[in-house]
Amino acid sequence: MPSSSVNGAIKCQQVSGGDGYSTMANGTQTYMFSFGPLSGLADIANGQPGTEFPNVFNTVYPGIIAPGDPATTDGASDDGTSYVPGNALLPGAAFTYNGAVGLTADLDAIANGTCTAPCLDGHVDPRQILDVGVMNGNIPAPLVAFDEDDEMFLTLTNVGMIMRPDLFEQHTIHFHGYPNASSVYDGVPDASVAINIGGSFTYYYMAPDAGTYFWHCHITPPEHLQMGMVGQLYVRPRQDRVPSGTSLYTSLGQQQNDLRTACRRPGDNVLSPNITASAVTTAPDILCANPLPAINTQVTQGTDKLGNPQKYAYNDGDGSTAYDTEYALQIHGFDPNFHFVGMTFNPEAFADMKDKFFLLNGRSYPDTVQPGPMATQSSDGRVHYSQPLPSIINIPAGGKALLRIADLDVSEYQTLATLGIPMKVIGFNAKILRDQAGNNLEYYTNSITLGGGESLDVILDASDAGCGSTGCAATLYPAGSVFYLFTPNLDHLSNDQENFGGLMTEVHVN
């Protein structure tokens, strides 16, 4: 609960760094360098973040994990006790394991009596890690999400580039735009740690600021980003944990007593009595991330349209970033020639790089609205679900959807537009759109444009809040309505030589 002494939880996740294949909407199978899941497998297969609490992460799978992604691929048995080739296990079936792949007991310690079962002390079975991680890259990379004030432990295991045994590629994880004070965990190899094949490294992060970020490999970034080593990360705000009925303005005022996120201005002790006199400054903080709103809207914590505690994109203090459902949308582009060269020989033609596949969460339309994970049969003869995250957007009737849009394109600017439901832009590059005086700078638009390395937080509002006293929910956004989120750049609505696909998905009101 947010107070003058704020404590978060511990969250854990493990990913692999290697290679794999993805399938474009025109049927082309594309080779990738990519990250894959080594924990949270069942959640990732269901389109959710793979970030888990320690009591979930530190559990041992009771049976044999099949090669490939066991949450979705062939070979995983329904009861998890044996490996049966050709036995397809679809999402939602018996496989529910979200622990760390390969985690195993210290059998020697158990045998000599120095430890009792399960005796989990960091020992791993490399065979299971390789069975699951090899050729199992995802595009985008596994989704990472945790809460403000959490301590995050993210382990990267380099399983090698099986299709390119001549390459001794190192990998790292760089949280792009993330306020990280420690360079050793920043993933830039000049000042950080680069993970060799067969090695693992655990990154540690303290979550100080809510917002939408993204992560990628920082080894030869133009190559590894183009090849697919990109993923999304978002941090949920403290405001989500405000007790029901509590004033959002008062709660945000309490946060100003925490030096990690303090955002004070002259007179703030008058605006909010929760700020102690010693906490008041004589000059505003120009790096202020979440200032108190200029106007107290008297909003209190309540429930959303689905009956759950209300959720917010930022610590807004006035309820302006409230939403009912949220969707991570990763924009990316592929140059098929660059990927073909990357599978066969080096060096690649960086100067001639030109994207011809344009992707939302690793897919082009109409694959963007296909529910569940997409499968690709790789060169190992197995089916791997390399594109687990659909892009179809569902808004409850009269509700709001938060779109966390991030662009890690290497060579293009990308534009997304909506027809029918305007976009309310509330955040840019993981900062709420608000000036230091607390004035709301959010705006409505029908299109947004992003370059590589930028993120936007956008709310699609189907609540008809501006329709007047007579109301128009039954006419503007009735249940069953379908709208489109797409790029007006017509050459980006294609899959290489095919005149369909590209950056487009559907928005359903239901």
Query: What confidence score (pLDDT) does residue 68 get?
Result: 59
Quick one: pLDDT band at residue 1, thresholds 50, 70, 90? very low
Q: Which of 56-65, 68-77, 449-458 has the highest mean pLDDT?
A: 449-458
Say if 164 falls within a structural domain: yes
Q: In this structure, are 72 and 157 located in the same domain?
A: yes
Residue 160 structural domain: 10-238
Q: In this structure, are 120 and 262 located in the same domain?
A: no
Say if 388 falls within a structural domain: no
Cis amide bond preceding 189, omega within 30: no
Query: What confidence score (pLDDT) does residue 259 get?
Result: 62
Q: Which amino acid would we find at residue 183?
A: S
Q: In this structure, are 234 and 247 located in the same domain?
A: no
Distance CA 302, CA 243 (A): 8
Chosen domain end from 312, 346, 363: 312
Say which residue the tokens 């946060």 belong to.
255
Residue 475 near residue 362, CB atoms below 8 Å? no
CB-CB neighbours of 384 under 10 Å = 26
Q: Which of 246-250, 255-259, 434-438 has the highest mean pLDDT?
A: 246-250
DSSP structure string for 80-135: SSSEEEEEE--TTSS----S-TTB---HHHHHTTSS-TT--SS-B-HHHHHHHHTT
Distance CA 148, CA 7 (A): 9
Q: Token digits for 313?
A: 């994109």
Chosen domain end from 204, 238, 272: 238
Three-class SS of residue 20?
A: strand
Cis amide bond preceding 222, omega within 30: no
483 bridge partner residues = 507
The yes-or-no verdict on residue 70 having pLDDT over 60 is: no
In this structure, what are the phi and psi dihedrals at residue 336, rounded to the nearest 5 degrees? -60, -35
Q: In this structure, are 131 and 250 located in the same domain?
A: no
Query: What confidence score (pLDDT) does residue 346 get?
Result: 66
170 Cβ contact list (under 8 Å, min separation 6)? 158, 189, 194, 195, 196, 197, 219
Residue 18 near residue 162, CB atoms below 8 Å? yes
Rounded to the nearest integer, the mean pLDDT of the chain is 83
Q: In this structure, are 34 and 142 located in the same domain?
A: yes
Distance CA 31, CA 45 (A): 21
Residue 436 near residue 265, CB atoms below 8 Å? yes
Say if 488 falls within a structural domain: no
| 206 class by beta-carbon count within 10 Å (0-12 exposed, 13-18 middle, 19+ buried) | middle
Q: Token digits for 180?
A: 């990280």
Q: Which amino acid would we find at residue 494?
A: S
Return the ∠ at Cα 406 (arms to 402 and 409), rounded to 5°.
155
Kindly state the DSSP code that residue 494 receives in the 8-state scheme: S
CB-CB neighbours of 7 under 10 Å = 9
Q: Which carries the bigger pLDDT value, residue 292 or residue 387?
A: 387
Q: Which helix (H) or strand (E) holds 1?
A: none
Say if 264 falls within a structural domain: yes
| 166 class by beta-carbon count within 10 Å (0-12 exposed, 13-18 middle, 19+ buried) | exposed
Query: What confidence score (pLDDT) does residue 257 get?
Result: 67
Q: Token digits for 381?
A: 């003869």
Q: In this structure, are 61 and 105 located in the same domain?
A: yes
Query: What confidence score (pLDDT) does residue 354 get?
Result: 86
Say if 130 falls within a structural domain: yes
The yes-or-no verdict on residue 74 having pLDDT over 50 is: no
Quick one: pLDDT band at residue 410, thresholds 50, 70, 90? confident
3-state helix, strand and coil shares in percent for the chain, rounded to the nearest 5: 15, 30, 55
Residue 133 near residue 38, CB atoms below 8 Å? yes
CB-CB neighbours of 63 under 10 Å = 15
Nearest to 275 by CA among 250, 239, 246, 306: 250
Q: Which carries the bigger pLDDT value, residue 118 or residue 299?
A: 299
Query: What confidence score (pLDDT) does residue 69 get?
Result: 54
The distance of Cα 65 from the centroid of its chain, to the nearest Å, equals 25
Q: In this structure, are 131 and 270 located in the same domain?
A: no
Q: Go through the chain and tell me how many residues it has.
A: 510
The yes-or-no verdict on residue 463 having pLDDT over 60 is: yes
Q: In this structure, are 84 and 115 located in the same domain?
A: yes
Chosen domain end from 260, 295, 312: 312
375-400 average pLDDT score: 86
The yes-or-no verdict on residue 362 having pLDDT over 60 is: yes
Q: In this structure, are 84 and 57 located in the same domain?
A: yes
Q: In this structure, are 252 and 208 located in the same domain?
A: no
Q: In this structure, are 151 and 268 located in the same domain?
A: no
Three-class SS of residue 473?
A: coil
Number of domains in the chain: 2
Say if 200 falls within a structural domain: yes
pLDDT per residue as tens digits for the range 260-276: 666 766 555 544 555 55
Q: In this structure, are 225 and 249 located in the same domain?
A: no
The yes-or-no verdict on residue 88 having pLDDT over 70 is: no
233 bridge partner residues = 144, 213
Say if 288 falls within a structural domain: yes
Q: Token digits for 156?
A: 């990267």
In 302-439, DSSP assigns E strands to: 311-312, 322-323, 325-334, 357-360, 374-377, 383-387, 393-395, 400-407, 414-419, 423-428, 431-432
**pTM of the shown model:** 0.89
Query: What confidence score (pLDDT) does residue 63 get?
Result: 67
Choice among 43-47, 394-398, 458-462 with the minimum mean pLDDT:
43-47
Say if 510 falls within a structural domain: no
Pairing between strand 311-312 and 322-323?
Answer: antiparallel
- CATH code (residue 76): 2.60.40.420
